[in-house]
């Protein structure tokens, strides 16, 4: 018998979506219910907050802070 799973539809850039897909693969496909297209996905509502925290951590590790130009003078 089919079971319903509560989900949240997200829309984001392709680069963020790629990071979400990577996180989902690293966690045994425990976040994404349906990968709709390059900018949309249906995420399990009970795992949404955890996914946000993991994404923030990945973004913090990936995005470099701009260098302070005053130090080079």
- Interval 11-49: pLDDT, tens: 999 999 999 999 999 999 999 999 999 999 999 999 999
pLDDT at 47 (0 to 100): 95
- Interval 40-53: pLDDT, tens: 999 999 999 999 99
H helices then E strands: how many in the chain?
A: 2, 3
pLDDT at 69 (0 to 100): 61
pTM: 0.78
Residue 72 has pLDDT above 60, yes or no: no
Alpha carbons 56 and 38: distance in angstroms, whole number: 20
């Amino acid at each position: 018998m089919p079971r319903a799973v509560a989900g949240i539809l997200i829309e984001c850039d392709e680069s963020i979506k790629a990071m979400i897909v990577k996180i989902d693969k690293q966690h045994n496909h425990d976040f994404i219910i349906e990968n709709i297209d390059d900018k949309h996905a249906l995420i399990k509502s009970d795992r949404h907050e955890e996914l946000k925290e993991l994404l923030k951590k990945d973004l913090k590790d990936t995005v470099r802070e701009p260098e302070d130009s005053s130090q080079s003078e």
